[in-house]
């Protein structure tokens, strides 16, 4: 039987509960434990698949095709373990299941209630992670203690504590300890109140992790311990990390958080093996070179919308001991003439995935610039589709080329819907999702990046595909279709003949990149960017080969 750790958050949102949970996961794995991680979200959307990036940030996709919370990305990057459909659920999903059962008559005439029906469904989904050989299940409860919508979740995890026994369950509360500048004091009251809220429900935290901008003085730690009813050694401090989020497992380990957990569960394990992790962190902190990359997306201000992209770019840098500076450019700014000059300063351009019309012509302009100037280009999903549109328009001379996502009546619908997508009515969970195999063309840039692999598997989230009717015309003009689905029906990777490094992929490689195992395509992209040398006349040239101008 697995043990459970429940991580709740107090005082304010955006405390980094996901990163803290992921770091804890890393620590426990480093102590030889087998773990599973779960994120539960108390909102009513059935999954985040239909939510705007303004609301929710990036939608993370698992191998088995779940559209999930972005915290699962942190879990995978920190633990190196894949997540799945079982790793995330929302209140919406729970209500949906309970109401379906009610309509089906499964409750045999009983009154269906929050307790026990909703709480039982929550508990069953948490316990579904208790597979053979799993030592610890880490459950992060989304939202903040005190939210009305979170109450049933807190009730469910309280009940699990009662049912499993307190030795088998641990509650960790992440809280905020603000520093009031005018008074020059750190304040414990919000944490006291948030713990009081938990105790009202019947949950007594076993450890407090305190987010703070300053070091916590001893008297403050004592106060937190006394008023929150947590032993002093279980008051853990989590200051903002200095260089990289990947320092966090080291910070928590130094304060003995992993040991605290093992003692609580009466488990004995050898000390954490953190040396490889520390080496990776050192590589980030002490880079040997630097490179600048532009990311041209719909939003330049939303860090979370491209979370995995930014992480994967950094991982590509780690692979070359290079620091990567990312210049975020909004595609709309390129359209209005504000953004294009910024590209003179970069050694690589990436256009990430996206949906809808906004900024689309700006993206196409940027891709043209990368193609004509021989600047390494990496197009992901929409970024690949737009590379195909740009190529069709400006190299093949097919005026009026577009994706039918933006122009339903495009003269040349070079990117369009496949037959099975034409029938789709609902927006939720109906895209081409999850891991799909892809066969790579021998000696292509993609195959080289994957160390010569003939077949790969990557995660998808899109509706539109390259239109097969144009394949021949593309190939004639020098667009290499270097990755295809095994039945050859879908174009998965394209690259440009004669360009130093211009690769577009229909899948999302960023989802599988980890700091300890940087993704091959990101590694190759950053490698190409490091080799790129701009010339003094503002035009650009690569050390490898001059760019072909068409």
**Between 211 and 463, CB nearer to ligand GLN:** 463
Stretch of 88-96, 388-396, 436-444, 456-464 contacting ligand GLN, by CB under 6 A: 456-464
Alpha-carbon gap, residue 48 to 40, rounded angstroms: 12
**Taking CB under 6 A as the rule, does residue 141 contact ligand GLN?**
no
**Taking CB under 6 A as the rule, does residue 462 contact ligand GLN?**
yes
Stretch of 138-146, 165-173, 459-467, 515-523 contacting ligand GLN, by CB under 6 A: 459-467
Q: Give me the residues paired with residue 436 across strands.
A: 458
Phi, psi of 19 (to 5 degrees): -65, -40
Site for ligand GLN in 371-410 (CB under 6 A): 381-382, 405
**Taking CB under 6 A as the rule, does residue 459 contact ligand GLN?**
no
**Between 320 and 463, CB nearer to ligand GLN:** 463
Q: Give me the residues paired with residue 243 across strands.
A: none
Q: Which residue in 353, 483, 518, 527 binds ligand GLN (CB under 6 A)?
A: 353
Q: Give me the residues paired with residue 7 across strands.
A: 140, 172
Find the DSSP H helices in 170-265: 189-201, 218-228, 248-254, 257-264
Burial 68-87 (b: 16+ CB within 10 A, else e): bbbbbbbbbbbbebebbebb
**Between 60 and 501, CB nearer to ligand GLN:** 60
DSSP single-letter state for residue 243: S
Q: How far is the CB of 158 from ligand GLN (least distance, A)?
A: 39
Q: Which of 58, 76, 173, 381 is catalytic?
A: 381
Q: Which of 521, 515, 511, 522 is nearest to 63 (CA)?
A: 511
**Taking CB under 6 A as the rule, does residue 157 contact ligand GLN?**
no
Task: Centre a 10 Å sphere on the Cβ of residue 378 and count the other Cβ atoms it contains.
Answer: 33
Give me the residue whose beta carbon is nearest to ligand GLN: 353
Q: How far is the CB of 68 from ligand GLN (least distance, A)?
A: 14
Q: How far is the CB of 498 from ligand GLN (least distance, A)?
A: 26
Task: Centre a 10 Å sphere on the Cβ of residue 111 and count the other Cβ atoms it contains.
Answer: 6
- The DSSP bridge pattern shows strands 432-440 and 455-462 to be antiparallel
Q: Is 228 a catalytic residue?
A: no
**Between 403 and 482, CB nearer to ligand GLN:** 403
- Count residues contacting ligand GLN (CB under 6 A)? 10
Q: Is 396 a catalytic residue?
A: no
Kindly calculate the radius of gyration of the chain based on its CA atoms and give it in whole angstroms. 25
Which tokens sit at 527?
């490698």
Q: How far is the CB of 388 from ligand GLN (least distance, A)?
A: 12
Q: Which residue in 153, 436, 464, 501 binds ligand GLN (CB under 6 A)?
A: 464
Q: Is 476 a catalytic residue?
A: no
Q: How far is the CB of 278 from ligand GLN (least distance, A)?
A: 35
Which tokens sit at 365?
């302009």
Q: How far is the CB of 194 from ligand GLN (least distance, A)?
A: 37
Site for ligand GLN in 253-312 (CB under 6 A): none
Alpha-carbon gap, residue 384 to 371, rounded angstroms: 13
Stretch of 171-179, 305-313, 433-441, 461-469 contacting ligand GLN, by CB under 6 A: 461-469
**Taking CB under 6 A as the rule, does residue 461 contact ligand GLN?**
yes
Q: How far is the CB of 417 from ligand GLN (least distance, A)?
A: 8
The helix/strand/coil state of 255 is: coil
Q: How far is the CB of 251 from ligand GLN (least distance, A)?
A: 34
DSSP 28-79: HHHTT--EEEEEEE-SSSSSGGGS-HHHH-PPEE-TT--EE-THHHHHHHHH
**Between 98 and 305, CB nearer to ligand GLN:** 305
Alpha-carbon gap, residue 19 to 245, rounded angstroms: 8
Site for ligand GLN in 21-40 (CB under 6 A): none
Phi, psi of 211 (to 5 degrees): -80, 130
**Taking CB under 6 A as the rule, does residue 355 contact ligand GLN?**
yes
**Taking CB under 6 A as the rule, does residue 512 contact ligand GLN?**
no
Q: How far is the CB of 352 from ligand GLN (least distance, A)?
A: 7
String of contacts with ligand GLN for each residue 403-442, x by CB under 6 A: --x-------------------------------------
**Between 354 and 376, CB nearer to ligand GLN:** 354
**Taking CB under 6 A as the rule, does residue 499 contact ligand GLN?**
no
Alpha-carbon gap, residue 359 to 352, rounded angstroms: 12
DSSP single-letter state for residue 143: S
Alpha-carbon gap, residue 518 to 515, rounded angstroms: 6
477 CB-contact burial (10 Å; exposed 0-12 / middle 13-18 / buried 19+): middle
Question: Mind telling me the catalytic residues?
Answer: 381, 508, 510
Residues that bind ligand GLN (CB under 6 A): 353-355, 381-382, 405, 461-464
């Amino acid at each position: 039987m697995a043990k459970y750790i429940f991580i709740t958050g107090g005082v304010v949102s955006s405390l980094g509960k996901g990163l803290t949970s992921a770091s804890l996961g890393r620590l426990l794995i480093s102590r030889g434990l087998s773990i599973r991680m779960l994120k539960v979200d108390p909102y009513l959307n059935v999954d985040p698949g239909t939510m705007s990036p303004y609301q929710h940030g990036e939608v993370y996709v698992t191998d088995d095709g779940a559209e999930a919370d972005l915290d699962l990305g942190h879990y995978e990057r920190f633990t190196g373990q894949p997540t799945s459909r079982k790793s995330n659920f929302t209140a919406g999903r729970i209500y949906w299941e309970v109401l379906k059962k009610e309509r089906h008559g499964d409750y045999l005439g009983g009154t269906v209630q929050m307790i026990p029906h909703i709480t039982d469904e929550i508990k069953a989904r948490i316990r579904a992670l208790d597979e053979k050989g799993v030592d610890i299940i880490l459950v992060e409860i989304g939202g903040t203690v005190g939210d009305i919508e979170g109450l049933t979740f807190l009730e469910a995890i309280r009940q699990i504590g009662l049912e499993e026994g307190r030795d088998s369950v641990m509650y960790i509360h992440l809280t905020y300890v603000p520093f009031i500048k005018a008074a020059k004091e750190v304040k414990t009251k919000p944490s006291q109140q948030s713990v009081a809220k938990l105790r009202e429900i019947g949950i007594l935290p076993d450890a407090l992790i305190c987010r703070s901008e300053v070091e916590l003085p001893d008297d403050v730690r004592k106060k937190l311990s006394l008023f929150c009813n947590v032993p002093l050694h279980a008051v853990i401090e989590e200051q903002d990390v200095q260089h990289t989020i990947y320092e966090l497992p080291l910070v928590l380990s130094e304060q003995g958080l992993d040991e605290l957990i093992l003692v609580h569960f009466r488990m004995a394990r050898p000390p954490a093996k953190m040396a490889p992790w520390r080496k990776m962190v050192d590589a980030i902190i002490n880079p040997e070179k630097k490179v600048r990359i532009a990311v041209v997306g719909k939003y330049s201000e939303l860090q979370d919308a491209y979370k995995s992209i930014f992480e994967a770019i950094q991982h590509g840098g780690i692979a070359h001991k290079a620091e990567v500076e990312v210049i975020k450019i909004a595609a709309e700014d390129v359209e209005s003439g504000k953004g294009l000059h910024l590209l003179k300063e970069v050694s690589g351009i990436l256009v990430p995935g996206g949906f809808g019309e906004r900024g689309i012509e700006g993206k196409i302009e940027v891709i043209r610039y990368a193609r004509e100037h021989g600047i390494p280009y990496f197009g992901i999903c929409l970024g690949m589709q737009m590379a195909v549109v740009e190529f069709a328009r400006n190299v093949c001379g097919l005026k009026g080329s577009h994706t039918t996502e933006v122009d339903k009546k495009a003269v040349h619908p070079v990117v369009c819907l496949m037959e099975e997508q034409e029938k789709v009515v609902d927006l939720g969970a109906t895209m081409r999702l999850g891991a799909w195999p892809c066969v790579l063309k021998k000696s292509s840039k993609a195959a080289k990046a994957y160390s010569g692999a003939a077949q790969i598997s990557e995660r998808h989230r899109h509706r539109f595909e390259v239109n097969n009717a144009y394949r021949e015309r593309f190939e004639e003009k020098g667009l290499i279709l270097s990755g295809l689905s095994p039945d050859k029906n879908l174009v998965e990777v394209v690259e440009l003949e004669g360009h130093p490094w211009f690769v577009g992929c229909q899948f999302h490689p960023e989802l599988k990149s980890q700091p300890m195992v940087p993704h091959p395509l990101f590694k190759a992209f950053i490698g190409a960017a490091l080799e790129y040398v701009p010339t003094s006349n503002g035009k650009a040239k690569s050390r490898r080969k001059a760019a072909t101008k068409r």
